[in-house]
């Protein structure tokens, strides 16, 4: 049983660590960004509303995100824990999440804050490539695929996320600083937060997370 939030700026490696954490602790991975991208891909109304914000690097409006996240948390597989990745992203979202958990006799066990410096964030984001087919992520320098433009796992085409261009990435980082970073103080006051170095290798970062969680 582990109820946790992964906090950190865009490019900190939340997605990479999330995959490892959910496997080790056997909990569902709830990524609001993934939910929106899935909806965009399927051309849903929700996807259309979210895309306008995402393409600019802005946040999707709180009420929409809160509705999506809490609906997901009500599903059966979240009874024994969950990993929230990319939610909450504003103090208002965090307050609403607290209210939701309280109403369901639940609470967070730990908040994991991934720390990475700004220059490294830009390098990671703009070099990131994702498989169109299975969602696996690569990096043109740090973690290139065996064959350029092709996914090692499934052979799918590798593309750059619409919001991973330099201009949008810069805006996402500044939106993070304005609206999401205050959450660190929020969770420092209310509970259990650990700060983990996200600039080292993914393996070492994961080791630190496991140590903190256990």
Q: Which two tokens stand for residue 144?
A: 């290139």
Region binding Zn ion by CB under 5 A among candidate stretches 15-23, 59-67, 145-153, 171-179: 145-153
89 noted as active-site residue? yes
Region binding Zn ion by CB under 5 A among candidate stretches 19-27, 87-95, 117-125, 131-139: 131-139
Does residue 65 interact with ligand ADP by CB under 6 A? yes
HSE, side-chain direction, 13 A CA sphere, residue 163: 21
Instruction: Give residues 76-135 in contact with ligand ADP (rule: CB under 6 A).
Output: 86-89, 93
Q: Rounded to the nearest whole angstrom, what is the least distance from the CB of residue 35 to ligand ADP in the complex?
A: 8
Q: Which two tokens stand for residue 120?
A: 């490294």
The C-alpha atoms of residue 127 and residue 1 are separated, in whole angstroms, by: 35
Rank residues 36 and 138 by Cβ distance to ligand ADP and give the closer one: 36
Is the backbone of residue 200 left (phi > 0), alpha (psi -120 to 50) or beta? beta
Residues 6 or more apart whose Cβ sits within 8 Å of residue 189? none
The C-alpha atoms of residue 89 and residue 103 are separated, in whole angstroms, by: 21
Q: Rounded to the nearest whole angstrom, what is the least distance from the CB of residue 40 to ligand ADP in the complex?
A: 10
Instruction: Give residues 149-178 in contact with Zn ion (rule: CB under 5 A).
Output: 151, 153-154, 156
Q: Which of 26, 71, 133, 174: binder of Zn ion (CB under 5 A)? A: 133
- CA nearest neighbour of 32 among 76, 88, 100, 95: 88
Binding residues (CB under 6 A) for ligand ADP: these are 10, 14, 32-33, 36, 53-54, 57-60, 65, 86-89, 93, 163, 172
């Amino acid at each position: 049983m582990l109820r946790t939030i992964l906090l950190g700026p865009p490019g900190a490696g939340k997605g990479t660590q999330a995959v490892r954490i959910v496997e080790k602790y056997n909990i569902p991975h709830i990524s609001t960004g993934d939910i929106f991208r899935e909806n965009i891909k399927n051309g849903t109304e929700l996807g259309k509303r979210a895309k306008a914000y995402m393409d600019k690097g802005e946040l999707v409006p709180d009420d929409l995100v809160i509705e999506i996240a809490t609906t997901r948390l009500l599903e059966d597989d979240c009874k024994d824990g969950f990993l929230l990745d990319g939610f909450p992203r504003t103090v208002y979202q965090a307050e609403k999440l607290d209210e939701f958990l309280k109403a369901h006799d639940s609470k967070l066990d730990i908040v994991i804050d991934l720390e990475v410096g700004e220059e490294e964030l830009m390098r990671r984001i703009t070099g990131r490539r994702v498989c169109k087919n299975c969602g696996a992520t690569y990096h043109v320098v740090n973690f290139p695929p065996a064959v350029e433009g092709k996914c090692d796992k499934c052979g799918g085409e590798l593309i750059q996320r619409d919001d991973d261009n330099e201009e949008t990435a810069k805006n996402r980082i500044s939106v993070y600083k304005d609206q999401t970073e205050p959450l660190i103080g929020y969770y420092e006051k209310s509970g259990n937060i650990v700060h983990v170095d996200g600039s080292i290798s993914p393996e070492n970062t994961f080791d630190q997370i496991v140590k903190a969680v256990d």
